[in-house]
Amino acid sequence: MDRRQFMKTSLLASLVSTVKGMPKEKHTKMTKPNKGKIAVIGAGAFGGWTAFHLLDRGYDVTLLDVFGPGNSRASSGGDSRVIRGIYGPDKIYVDMVVRSFDFWKTYQKQWHQSLYFPTGALWFFQVDDTYAKESLPLVNGAGLKAKEWPKSAIEKKYPQINLSDLITFYYEDEAGYLPARHCCQVVLEQFVNKGGEYKQLAVQPGTIKNNQLEKLKLSDGSTISADSYIFACGPWLSEIFPEVLKDIIRPTRQEVFFFGTPYGDSRFFESNMPVWVDFGEKLWYGIPGADWRGFKLADDTRGKPFDPTTGDRTPSKEGIVSAREYLAHRFPGMKDAPLLEARVCQYENSPDGHYIVDRHPEAENTWIVGGGSGHGFKLGPALGEFVANLINGEKEVHPFFGLDRFNFKKKKGTQFNHENC
């Protein structure tokens, strides 16, 4: 399916018919023996892929989400996410990126869906470039391609970028972007087609007794009992388990902007520009094109605390002004570009900007999967596989993702730095 065709296809309509009325003979049930009942709460990047991988291993899996896959309140909502391999000194993420690339490419072919758009990624630094420099041997050693480029090469290839205050430049060949909402819906569709059960209902955990969560209470008055429960519900995790996560998972308000490119000017199309990341006093990033939504850009700085259910999602005047000022400076040809649309989403931040994959400290059969911290979507396939391997007894909790690592005497930060945020 080509890109224009998939944009015209109503996946949601087919998904609804799949969930509500698909003939039983079209449900390809797993041929492997059932290993137990699993309930996964959250159909975003982490939860959807976890449910898919568990189903593939022979488990009886029910996936639940209150608002639906890739919905506008979710951290996995929206239309595009960057996929890139440069991850500073954190080899664990580079390895997960490589694995996720394999999944995105494999299932793009197998499912005949457009899931991954390779545009390349350009990193430019106004400040110290240690983050990229440390990552190069890891990225290239893992089989991806990334290198430092001289300023003269950037000037020649991308004259539409103002380089006056930039010092160093790095380029990743295989980086690009993923159509986020579409990906979430496709993963759910494939999960259901394989025989998984999906329920669009609100969930509350029941009583924890003898170190076990006994059941889930659903908004339709019913309950679900399972052998294991996996909570991958992003910014709602701290509401569901406040006694454990109130000071650990912190949703913040983030604004994203789409500007119109000049009429007849193709310099800012994705065919002529890669996705980009700009390290300076702030960290800006962008996706040219972004499925023809416009020239996307956003400030990665953590915003104010935000309620993902009731928070107002009207973009701020301050945010729009800041985006316009940045756009005019870095891309002079876009100085007077019209704002086509803006949206408010959220990050679900952990104190150190790294993921959380661990058991609930008071319930052995309950797992917490979250802390995407603004860089989780692209690694959903690999993280879901990792969680499935944990449940299947093939892996152990990694200290890098464990809850025990949190010592609040340490500085807090983001995945890109470890300063107070």
DSSP annotation of 260 reads: P
Res 291: pLDDT: 73
Res 213: pLDDT: 98
Determine the Cα–Cα distance for residues 122 and 138; give it in Å rounded to an integer: 17
What's the one-letter identity of residue 278? D
Interior angle at CA 101, CA 96 and CA 103, nearest 5: 95
Residues 6+ apart with CB under 8 A from 309: 73, 236
Q: Give 186-190's long-range contacts (Cβ < 8 A, gap of 24+).
A: 186/11, 186/111, 186/113, 186/115, 187/48, 187/49, 187/52, 187/69, 188/15, 188/43, 188/48, 188/63, 188/69, 189/11, 189/14, 189/15, 189/18, 190/52, 190/107, 190/111
Determine the Cα–Cα distance for residues 227 and 14; give it in Å rounded to an integer: 31
**Closest of 38, 367, 47 to residue 183, by C-alpha:** 47
Domain extent listing, the chain: 12-77+181-249+352-405, 117-178+250-347
**Closest of 383, 412, 395, 394 to residue 92, by C-alpha:** 383
Domain 117-178+250-347 has CATH 3.30.9.10: yes
Res 34: pLDDT: 64
* Element housing 193 (H / E): helix 180-193
What's the one-letter identity of residue 201? L
Task: With beta carbons less than 8 A apart as the criterion, state whether 164 and 334 touch.
Answer: no
Res 35: pLDDT: 86
What's the one-letter identity of residue 62? T
pLDDT in tens, 28-39: 333 344 689 999
Q: Pairing mode, if any, of strands 37-41 and 228-231?
A: parallel
Res 21: pLDDT: 35
Q: Give 12-15's long-range contacts (Cβ < 8 A, gap of 24+).
A: 12/185, 14/189, 15/69, 15/185, 15/188, 15/189, 15/192
């915003």: which residue's tokens?
A: 303
Strand, coil or helix: 200? coil
Which residues of the chain carry a pLDDT beneath 70? 1-34, 407-421
Strand, coil or helix: 251? strand
In DSSP notation, 77-128 reads -SS-EEE---BTB-HHHHHHHHHHHHHHHHHHHHHT----EE--EEEEESS-
| Neighbouring C-beta atoms of residue 361, cutoff 10 Å | 14
Task: With beta carbons less than 8 A apart as the criterion, state whether 297 and 335 touch.
Answer: no
Superfamily grouping for domain 12-77+181-249+352-405? FAD/NAD(P)-binding domain (3.50.50.60)
Q: Pairing mode, if any, of strands 168-172 and 146-149?
A: antiparallel
Q: Pairing mode, if any, of strands 363-370 and 356-360?
A: antiparallel
Res 408: pLDDT: 45
**Closest of 247, 190, 241, 225 to residue 362, by C-alpha:** 241
Cβ-in-10-Å burial (0-12, 13-18, 19+) of 408 comes to exposed
Residues 6+ apart with CB under 8 A from 61: 37, 38, 39, 40, 51, 54, 55, 191, 196, 197
- Tokens in use for 270? 């994705």
| Neighbouring C-beta atoms of residue 154, cutoff 10 Å | 18
- Tokens in use for 84? 């890139």
End-to-end CA distance of the chain: 42
- Tokens in use for 320? 């729009």
